[in-house]
């Protein structure tokens, strides 16, 4: 090209324009990065317990709810929650002085987001009497939490035509003075994207609402179907396997050759932690391995809680003998931590049937493809339920894998004499029967109804010790309090 002075001038001009455009793009990019992706580490936690309760696992990226939307949803749509009182009506643990419940970590990734961690399902609450404040115990079964009601709440909110940027912003304005820029972002990007994401959940969770399957109720979910349908995207297969949230303290108790999960579906603690965490974060973040390492070390050593009420030690000592004669052959022997065939233990079959060898093979492939190393799911046909370690059993009511027996006294009754309808999720402790109060006006108001005739809820089987005399049963129960 012949570069005349005129051409030269034009070229310079074009160069300037290009530079300005590039700067604008860069600036815009930096701005977008700052407002949407800039990751701010959470402030350090005072101790392991705080980290377990409020620490992010990295799920806020893929599965977080923007903080201000999370805050206003119960105000906008209280009718989609199980009762009055906002999120507390879901039975989640909420400590005084905290702006979010236990199990709902807050993290800024561009903007503040609310995620979940293990504590949402693995924190128990108990009280000696209705007028007491609850005591929260981490790594315990989250017997009050209604996970299904939370999923349903979010989806119903998103489907409601009142879930619009205008309405959400109006609600936020009532409680928080958002900056002009953030308002624009919320209105034109964040709110519409969240609505869209939550609506996608509706299809992903449609299997939850199949005809003939009761609600999970408080303290349970359908863990293997969550894995099969949500994580592995396998076709619906007609199974329904509701299971209690278990305790996850003292994981050091699992020795080589023992397996975890109610049916022994997983080889070792690390594998269960990894799979549970992937269910929360969906995509492992950079620090995933380090997070898993911390969780494993913490939970291996976390001791089970001691029974906080009175124990008659003499009676417990005689109960120890009854235990040795009647229970130890499974619960303190080489059978412990290993499956007892379903035909032998005789409890409800649905949870066992909700998992299979092929699903385990598929699950191991999916996790390996994510680049995460673990020993993994047991690629075998499973035969029954694990003879559980009984550490901290006093806080693990209701009992059996599906939570069909409300307290220890009833577990020592033949199935025909166990209560057929009761209420789960009330946290006042029943020191006489060892378990939670499961009937009466308050338990009915707070809890979810559990009917043993519904699918997955059978209370049959495990009739060990039911023929003992009343005195020996009393002694045995006293001993069980001390484990």
**331 vs 481, which CB is nearer to ligand HEC?**
331
Residues within window 450-479 making contact with ligand HEC, judged by CB under 6 A: 462, 464-465
Residue 347 near residue 385 (C-beta atoms within 8 A): yes
**111 vs 385, which CB is nearer to ligand HEC?**
385
Whole-number Cα distances in Å, 49 to 63, 138, 144, 182, 465: 23, 7, 19, 34, 37
Residues within window 323-342 making contact with ligand HEC, judged by CB under 6 A: 326-327, 329-331, 340
Cα–Cα dist 62/45, whole Å: 23
Q: Tell me which of 217, 246, 284, 376 binds ligand HEC, using CB under 6 A.
A: 246
Q: Tell me which of 51, 302, 396, 418 binds ligand HEC, using CB under 6 A.
A: 396
Minimum CB separation of residue 171 from ligand HEC in Å reads 28
Give the binding range for ligand HEC (CB under 6 A) out of 78-86, 91-99, 207-215, 387-395.
Answer: 387-395
Q: Tell me how many degrees the CA angle 7-11-12 measures, rounded to the nearest 5.
A: 120
Task: Give the binding-site size for ligand HEC (rule: CB under 6 A).
Answer: 47
Picking from 249, 237, 247, 295, the residue whose alpha carbon sits closest to that of residue 270 is: 295
Told to check if 71 binds ligand HEC by CB under 6 A, we report no
Residue 354 near residue 242 (C-beta atoms within 8 A): no
Task: Tell me whether residue 178 is exposed, middle or buried, using C-beta atoms within 10 angstroms of its C-beta: 0 to 12, 13 to 18, 19 or more.
Answer: middle
Told to check if 345 binds ligand HEC by CB under 6 A, we report yes
Handedness of CA 259, 57, 207, 211 (dihedral sign): positive
Picking from 253, 294, 255, 287, the residue whose alpha carbon sits closest to that of residue 273 is: 294
Q: Tell me which of 72, 158, 185, 260 binds ligand HEC, using CB under 6 A.
A: 260
**195 vs 302, which CB is nearer to ligand HEC?**
302
**190 vs 480, which CB is nearer to ligand HEC?**
480
**168 vs 345, which CB is nearer to ligand HEC?**
345
Told to check if 400 binds ligand HEC by CB under 6 A, we report yes
Residue 126 near residue 134 (C-beta atoms within 8 A): yes
Picking from 262, 243, 268, the residue whose alpha carbon sits closest to that of residue 386 is: 262
Whole-number Cα distances in Å, 302 to 134, 291, 414: 21, 16, 34
Residue 92 near residue 101 (C-beta atoms within 8 A): yes
Minimum CB separation of residue 92 from ligand HEC in Å reads 11
Told to check if 121 binds ligand HEC by CB under 6 A, we report yes
Residue 76 near residue 153 (C-beta atoms within 8 A): no
Cα–Cα dist 470/450, whole Å: 27
- x/- track of binding to ligand HEC for residues 19-58 (CB under 6 A): --------------------------------------x-
Q: Tell me which of 63, 69, 155, 245 binds ligand HEC, using CB under 6 A.
A: 245
Whole-number Cα distances in Å, 471 to 178, 316, 322, 409, 477: 66, 12, 11, 12, 10
Q: Tell me which of 51, 122, 228, 474 binds ligand HEC, using CB under 6 A.
A: 122
Q: Tell me which of 53, 401, 472, 481 binds ligand HEC, using CB under 6 A.
A: 401
Q: Tell me which of 261, 350, 407, 459 binds ligand HEC, using CB under 6 A.
A: 261
Assigned token pair, 336: 């412990």
Question: Could you tell me which residues come within 8 angstroms of residue 270 by beta carbon, excluding any fewer than 6 positions away?
Answer: 292, 296, 374, 375
Told to check if 411 binds ligand HEC by CB under 6 A, we report yes
Assigned token pair, 222: 């359908």
Give the binding range for ligand HEC (CB under 6 A) out of 90-98, 165-173, 265-273, 312-320.
Answer: 265-273
Cα–Cα dist 208/212, whole Å: 11
Told to check if 385 binds ligand HEC by CB under 6 A, we report yes
Residues within window 198-227 making contact with ligand HEC, judged by CB under 6 A: 221, 223
* Contacting positions for ligand HEC (CB under 6 A): 57, 116-118, 120-122, 147, 221, 223, 243, 245-246, 248, 260-262, 269, 272-273, 276-277, 280, 295, 326-327, 329-331, 340, 344-345, 347, 351, 385, 387-388, 390, 393, 396, 399-401, 411, 462, 464-465
């Amino acid at each position: 090209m012949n570069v005349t002075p005129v051409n030269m001038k034009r070229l310079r001009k074009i160069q300037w324009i290009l530079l300005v455009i590039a700067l604008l793009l860069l600036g815009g990019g930096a701005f977008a990065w700052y407002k949407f992706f800039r990751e701010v580490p959470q402030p350090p936690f005072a101790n392991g317990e705080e980290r377990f309760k409020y620490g992010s696992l990295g799920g806020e990226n893929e599965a977080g709810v923007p903080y201000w939307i999370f805050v206003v949803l119960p105000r906008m749509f209280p009718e989609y929650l199980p009762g009055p009182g906002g999120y507390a009506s879901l039975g989640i643990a909420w400590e005084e002085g905290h702006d979010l419940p236990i199990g709902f970590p807050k993290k800024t990734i561009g903007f503040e987001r609310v995620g979940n961690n293990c504590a949402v399902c693995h924190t128990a609450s108990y009280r000696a009497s209705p007028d007491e404040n609850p005591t929260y115990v981490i790594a315990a079964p989250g017997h009050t939490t209604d996970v299904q009601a939370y999923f349903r709440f979010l989806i119903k909110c998103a489907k409601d035509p009142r879930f619009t940027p205008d309405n959400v912003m109006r609600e936020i304005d009532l409680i928080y003075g958002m900056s002009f820029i953030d308002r624009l972002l919320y209105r034109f990007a964040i709110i519409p994207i969240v609505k869209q994401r939550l609506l996608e959940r509706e299809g992903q969770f449609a299997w939850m609402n199949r005809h003939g399957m009761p609600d999970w109720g408080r303290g349970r979910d359908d863990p293997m179907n969550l894995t099969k349908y949500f994580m592995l995207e396998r076709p619906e297969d007609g199974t329904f396997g509701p299971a209690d949230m278990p305790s996850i303290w003292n994981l050091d108790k699992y020795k080589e050759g023992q397996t975890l999960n109610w049916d022994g579906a997983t080889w070792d603690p690390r594998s269960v932690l990894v799979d549970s965490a992937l269910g929360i974060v969906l995509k492992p973040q950079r620090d995933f391995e380090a997070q898993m390492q911390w969780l494993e070390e913490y939970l291996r050593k976390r001791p089970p809680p001691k029974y906080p009420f009175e124990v008659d030690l003499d009676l417990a000592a005689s109960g120890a003998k009854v235990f040795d004669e009647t229970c130890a052959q499974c619960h303190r022997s080489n059978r412990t931590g290993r499956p007892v065939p379903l035909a032998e233990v005789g409890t409800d079959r649905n949870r066992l049937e909700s998992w299979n060898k092929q699903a385990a093979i598929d699950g191991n492939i999916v996790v390996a493809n994510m680049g995460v190393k673990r020993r993994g799911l047991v690629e075998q046909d499973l035969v029954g339920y694990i003879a559980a370690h009984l550490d901290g059993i006093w806080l693990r009511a209701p009992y059996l894998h599906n939570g069909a027996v409300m307290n220890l006294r009833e577990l020592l009754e033949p199935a025909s004499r166990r209560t057929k309808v009761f209420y789960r999720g009330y946290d006042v402790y029943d020191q006489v029967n060892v378990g939670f109060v499961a009937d009466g006006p308050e338990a009915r108001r707070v809890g979810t109804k559990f009917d043993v005739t519904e699918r997955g809820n059978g209370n049959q089987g495990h009739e060990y010790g039911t023929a003992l005399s009343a005195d020996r049963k009393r002694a045995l129960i006293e001993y069980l309090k001390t484990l």
